[in-house]
Amino acid sequence: MSVFLLIVICVGWAFSWYLDNPIILYISVLIAIATNIFSYWNSDKMVVRLTGAVPADNDQYRELHRMVENLAITAGLPKPRVYIMNDPAPNAFATGRDAEHALVAVTTGLMDVLDRTELEGVIAHELSHIGNRDMLVSTVAVTLVGFIAIVSDIFLRMFMYGAGGRDRNVHPAVLVVGIVAIVLSPVVAKLMQLAVSRKREFLADASGALLTRYPEGLANALVKIQASSRGMQRVSHATSHLFIANPFGSEKNKLSNKLNNMFSTHPPTQQRVAALMGSTTIRS
């Protein structure tokens, strides 16, 4: 997270240097911090609207509520709100600014595909995200990546169209280095976000397995979710990192698969299953 903030400061400094106005640096940092705070405080509301999740009825989904409550007690967490997404694609996510304001959402497709132990594994994974405070990490990462991309785009457009107050009699090498840094900073920030997201997924897998004491449940659930090539009906890149599996569905093309693995917020299912089970054979 410190490196993320450092990149924001560097981009803001380049902007302020080019415009010959040091105040821009301070404004950039303040905007980044303010955007982080707003996103963190309102993350659950924004995600619920984007995904179309609705509160799960206590009577209709009594077993789901009971499962979430039992696992939350085991994890030492308050019971999060339980939401349902009417979507045939099997998936789930957790969000909220802290354990007291968290929610867990699952799709109807997930409940149709998984048995009880597998569903418990998925719920334990999502509760682990809450316990590990991953919502804070992911929200800050996404906000900073978006901020860096926007500022870099503005800087490049101003440079191309000649806006700014800095004298243009600058050594060409300095300009080249500055432009390259501005162009690459969003890419570097995005790669950092992917690395952070993948590590938190591995951590949630491990924490969830410890919570249920049955890693086979989560491992089998991941295999079944991966086997479904169906993408979710309501999904965006802004929320894709929150789900337990890639909400856009699996890709059949091998080249596309490799590219997706490189730039996905989720580790490949095979790696996650191997980390959970080692050499143990997972039933499909």
pLDDT at 284 (0 to 100) = 41
Least confident of 63-67, 127-131, 231-235: 231-235
Buried b (16+ CB within 10 A) or exposed e, 47-61: bbeebbbeebeeeeb
What mean pLDDT, rounded, does the chain reach? 80
B/e letters for 196-215, b = 16+ CB within 10 Å, e = fewer, are bbbebbeebbbbbbebbebb
Query: pLDDT tens digits, residue range 76-112?
Result: 999 999 999 999 999 999 988 889 999 999 999 999 9
Q: Which of 63, 69, 100, 126 is catalytic?
A: 126
182-214 pLDDT, tens digit per residue, is 677 677 767 767 777 888 899 999 999 999 999
Beta strands 54-55; 92-95: pairing state:
unpaired
Instruction: Judge contact between 139 and 42, C-beta under 8 A.
Output: no
Chain-centre distance for alpha carbon 126: 12
Distance CA 87, CA 48 (A): 14
The type of residue at 125 is H
Residues 245/269, Cβ–Cβ less than 8 Å = yes
Look at residues 134, 85, 127 and name the one whose alpha carbon lies nearest to residue 104. Answer: 127
Which amino acid belongs to residue 97? R
Q: List helix spans (H) across the chain.
A: 2-19, 23-51, 62-75, 108-113, 116-131, 134-160, 172-212, 215-227, 254-263, 269-277
pLDDT at 74 exceeding the cut of 90: yes
The amino acid at residue 63 is E
pLDDT of residue 173: 62
Does residue 250 register a pLDDT over 70?
Answer: no
Position 255 scores a pLDDT of 39
Residue 252, pLDDT > 50, answer no
Greater confidence (177 vs 218) lies with 218
For residue 126, indicate whether it is catalytic.
yes
- Express each pLDDT in 122-172 by its tens digit: 999 999 999 998 877 776 666 667 677 777 777 666 666 655 555 555 556
Look at residue 234 in the predicted model and tell me its pLDDT: 83
Q: What pLDDT score was predicted for residue 164?
A: 54
Helix (H, G, I), strand (E, B) or coil at 84: strand
Tokens for 37, please give them: 């705070």
Residue with tokens 């299912």: 269
Local confidence band at 19 (pLDDT 50, 70, 90 cut-offs): confident
pLDDT tier for residue 50 given thresholds of 50, 70 and 90:
confident
Residue 283 has pLDDT above 50, yes or no: no
**Predicted local confidence at residue 76, as pLDDT:** 95
Find the helix or strand (DSSP H, E) in which 265 lies. none
Q: What does the pLDDT read at residue 169?
A: 56
pLDDT at position 191, please?
73
What is the pLDDT, as a whole number, of residue 80? 96
- pLDDT higher than threshold 70 for residue 27: yes
| Structure token pair of residue 58 | 């206590």
Q: How far is residue 46 from each of residues 33, 201, 239, 276, measured CA to CA in Å?
A: 18, 21, 9, 32
Identify the CA nearest to 152 among candidates 191, 119, 120, 180. 180
> Given this model, what pLDDT does residue 225 score?
94
pLDDT of residue 223: 94
Cα–Cα distance, 230 to 88 (Å, whole number)? 8
